[in-house]
Structure 1
Amino acid sequence: MEKPHRGCGTLGGFCPPKWEIPPLVLWVPGSFEIPVVAQQLGKLGKYDAILCIGAVIQS
């Protein structure tokens, strides 16, 4: 798992001003790690929502 990124850079630079804390963006090495990391974040109990987006790119 890479170092977490703070901010909205991956959202096209759009960050609504009403957000007091910018979203936490995490990168994981593969699709199998997505639910594992989401579960770990959920157990922390400090997030209202966890959104996971994944893409499988095959060359």
Structure 2
Amino acid sequence: MSKFNFDDTETSGIWWSTNVAIKDLCLELKEDTNCENSEIVELLKSITESIDLNGL
């Protein structure tokens, strides 16, 4: 799946709940570290690249 619609009325519950969980953790990270949104985006991109290279 390359595109996700995170409207819980249109998607599988696991995809929606995963999106909510990640977003909540990013908000907690932002509050704890006072980092910028762009820093969180870079972190998520780094995680994505790691998964692409090494798998889960």
TM-score, reference length from structure 1? 0.29
More strand by share: 1
TM-score, reference length from structure 2? 0.31
- Point out which structure has higher relative CO (alpha carbons under 8 A, 6+ apart): 1
More helix by share: 2
